[in-house]
Amino acid sequence: MLEISNLVKRYGHDEAVLKGLDLTVEGNSVVAIVGASGAGKSTMLRCINRLVEPTSGSIKLNGNELVKLRGAALRRARRKIGMVFQGFNLIDRLTVMENVLAGRLGYVSLYQAISRRYPPADIERAFSLMERVGIAHYANKRADELSGGERQRVGVVRALMQEPEVLLADEPTASLDPRTSEQIMILLQSLASELSLPVLINIHNVSQAKTYTERIVGLRHGKMIFDGAPSDFNQDALDAIYGGIEAPEEEVAEVPPTAEGVSHDQA
């Protein structure tokens, strides 16, 4: 369970980006966080694994307070928080397998990391997760040789290698074409239920958020102004979140996700 309470983040002396945010995510629910650029979505996600330092407030993961952690304790806490990035953030010059195993860096010794002698259990987990998302045959390919969708799968597997207790996805589909981004959303949705993992997804695409998540949280100017089921997310909510800001015309891609997505899920 992830509990965020009264989270405030202020960069320098500027106006706060997050103004006392409260959010609780339980079980294996998939939560979409929507909002215009600059609403604080990304900052909120990064506060959870402390890539951004919160100014004040509290973030608890399964009862552990994350905000005050430092040094080794912070690194231990980060192992339990997987993150998927918009730009994938893979190590381009390393192989897919090395990228996937990098998800274990918080667990292995420096010597094991340098010599790539990961424990057999890690390698087994890497192969089975890569098989699950359909990239196992790329194990020895360089990460920058893959297509966007494949690279994001590597990113997802890397995050899952951490055996996370929560998965954060910061605009995981924004760099992908519509069809591929559908596939990634389906993947995240099904992984959440398979691994009973809560997933927080920052997303610009409102229709995808409504289709693939169970709960939508709307942010505007650092405050939560909507929290409810996708079916309750109507035009009023959309106007409240994007009102005065030109909302991009986004539709679920024409191609139905069934063919590609489902076959992929069985893989």
Partner 1 sequence: MTRPDASAPARTWRKPPFIANPWLRYGLWLVLVVYLVWALGTLPFNWERISEGLPRAARIFGGGFPPSFERGGLLLTGFKESFQIAILATLLGVALSIPFAVMAARNVAPLPVYLFGRAVIIVSRSFHPVIVAILFVAAVGFGPLAGILTLTLYSIGFVGKLLAEEIEEIDWGQVEAMKATGAGYFAILIYAVFPQILPRQVGLSMYQLDSNLRASAVVGIVGAGGIGGTLMNAFGRYDYDFAFAILLTIIAVILISEGISGWVRKKIW
> 97: part of which helix (H) or strand (E)?
helix 96-101
> Between residues 36 and 159, which has the closer beta carbon with respect to partner 1?
159
SS3 169: strand
139 binds partner 1 (CB under 8 A): no
- Residue 54 has, within 13 A of its CA and on its CB side, a CA count of 28
Give least dist CB 175 to partner 1, A: 11
Q: Near partner 1 by CB under 8 A, which window of 23-31, 95-103, 231-239, 248-256? A: 95-103
Give least dist CB 72 to partner 1, A: 8
Q: What part of residues 22-61 is at the interface with partner 1 (CB under 8 A)?
A: 49, 51
158 binds partner 1 (CB under 8 A): yes
Q: Which x/- pattern over 102-131 shows residues binding partner 1 (rule: CB under 8 A)?
A: xxxxxx--x--xx-----------------
Q: Where are the beta strands (DSSP E) in 10-84?
A: 18-25, 30-34, 56-61, 64-65, 81-84
Rounded CA gap, 153 and 188, in Å? 10
Give least dist CB 227 to partner 1, A: 26
One of 21, 31, 32, 81 touching partner 1 (CB under 8 A): 81
Rounded CA gap, 9 and 192, in Å? 28
Q: Near partner 1 by CB under 8 A, which window of 11-19, 99-107, 188-196, 219-227? A: 99-107
- Distance (Å) of CA 228 to CA 202, 215, 217: 15, 6, 7
Rounded CA gap, 59 and 80, in Å? 14
Q: What type of residue sits at position 136?
A: A
Rounded CA gap, 78 and 43, in Å? 16
One of 25, 47, 77, 219 touching partner 1 (CB under 8 A): 77
- Which parts of this chain interact with partner 1 (CB under 8 A)? 49, 51, 75-79, 81-83, 85, 87, 89-94, 98, 102-107, 110, 113-114, 155, 158-159, 161-162
